Each structure stands twice: as structure tokens, then as C-alpha cells.
Amino acid sequence: MNVAAFTQLFITEQQPGIWLITLNRPKALNALNRQVLEQLHSAIVWIENQPDARVLLITGSGDKAFAAGADIAEMKDMNAQQAREFSQVGMTTMHRIESSRLPVIALVNGFCLGGGCELAMSCDFILAADNALFGQPEVTLGVPPGFGGSQRLPRRVGPGMAAQLLLTGEKVNAEQALNIGLCNQVYPAQQLQERGIDMAITIAKNAPQALYHCKRLVQASADQSIENGCRMESDLFGLSFATEDQTEGMTAFTERRKAQFTGA
């Protein structure tokens, strides 16, 4: 498969090892239909298979939206069985992003609603443009979220705030999203991509296996007792001493030079 096969996405290597997926349905505000979800899943796998890939960024095309949700036109006439299957296609893609070997950053440029917000929350963290608007408005359409929003939103912002957003269906702007911990930073819209790439470059300088361990440990912290989480941390800390990158990182420190990590 080559990148031309992804008709609903643009895939570009912005800097060595820094890959950007851009959802490409701007006329439909990058709404997530089955084809987009399946291509997104394949794109993650494709990028992970590039041996030098270090960090993945996900954004939306156009200046209005990251993604305005699951595709309402496609869902409207589904029966219960079809809707459940569609939900599972979305869930599978979100889980695949979450479990990627790469750090994944959402660059939210505009509407980030419903399935769009669920996609952003499946990334390790979210950077937002000052025109971003977040929300889970599914209840206004007669349904609950279907791509994991009811589970990932409380883990991001706490159960009380998640319940408020899920039950009112109201949207929050970038500054409010920052205040409740839904996004990490807010930048002027024109700078979002550049600042995201800068942050990805900083991350990419670090040891790939250590990054993956951090990612897994942060995710595990949501579901484990502190004892189990700390045990897992000890295991992964120990395991990292079997890597060349640990030797390189600590040797470089003592030799007062910058470490050159290879992922080995």
C-alpha cells in the first residue's frame, strides 16, 4: 500500500520521523464515516511500519474543523445492529491509535465534536487552536457517544465535568477546554501545526522505547491501583536497562554530549 491509496486522508512526513495525518473531508467538516475510520486505522499501521517513524500528529483539513463528529448522514438510517457495528469500527480505530507504539498528538483546528472529540481523546494529548470548539453533542441527536467518549472524557476531565458535557451536549471553547484539562495548550490557529511539529521534534529526540513505556504507564494509571501501576513502572524501568538506548542516554550524560537514540 502507498500513501496515494488513502483517499480520505493526507499523509505527510513533516520532518524526519514526524508524520502528519490530515483528515480530508473539509466540505463535511471532516465527519468520520466508515471509510475515513478504516483508512485512519490502516494509516496508523502504515506509518508505524516506517522504521524511522517517531511521532504522529493528527489534524483536520480546512480552517473550520478537526472533525465535526461521526457522519450523521451515514448513520441516520442505520438499524440497531448496523449502528453497533459502526460503533465498533470507530472503537477499533480509537483503540488502535491509543495503543500505537508512537506518541500521538491531536492538533485540533476548529470543531471537535462527538466522534471528533473521541478521536482527539484517543491521542496521547491534545493541542488546540484558539478557534477550537469541543463537545459531545450526541444526546441532542438522540444517542449517547459511540466511539468511547463516555469512557475517555471522564478520564480526561473527571466524572462531574464529563457528565455535564455529556448531558448538556454543550460545547466548550479552547480556553475552557484548557481550564478543564481537555487540551494541554492553546495556540493562534495559524501557528498550531508549526507548534505541534516543534513539540513532536522535542519528543522525537527521546528514546523510543522509553516513550512507549511512559505512554503505557500513563494509560494504565487510569485503571489500576497505585500499587499495580507502580509495580508495572518498576518492571518497565528494569526492562529499559536491557536497551542500548539506556546505555547511550546515561553514557552521553556522563560524557556531556547529546544522546543519539536509535530505538534499540
Which residues of the shown chain bind ligand CAA in the complex (CB under 6 A)?
28-29, 31, 68-73, 90, 111, 113-115, 118, 137-138, 141, 145-147, 149
Whether residue 85 lies in the annotated active site:
no
Nearer to ligand CAA, 84 or 231 (CB): 84
Please say whether the beta carbons of 159 and 180 come within 8 A.
Answer: no
Nearest C-alpha neighbor of 118 from the set 55, 143, 261, 212:
143
Residue 83 CB, shortest distance to ligand CAA, in Å, is 9
Kind of pairing, strands 9-15 and 18-23? antiparallel
Nearer to ligand CAA among residue 71 and residue 245 (C-beta): 71
Nearer to ligand CAA (CB atom), residue 115 or residue 208: 115
In angstroms, give the least distance from the CB of 110 to ligand CAA.
Answer: 9
Q: Which of 118, 194, 248, 255 is labelled catalytic? A: 118
Is 227 among the catalytic positions? Answer: no
Closest separation between CB of residue 133 and ligand CAA, Å?
Answer: 8
Q: Which of 13, 98, 138, 233 is catalytic?
A: 138
| Smaller CB separation from ligand CAA, 96 or 101 | 96
Closest contact distance (angstroms) between CB of 155 and ligand CAA is 16
- Angle at which helix 208-221 crosses helix 226-240, to 10 degrees, equals 170
Residues carrying an active site annotation: 118, 138
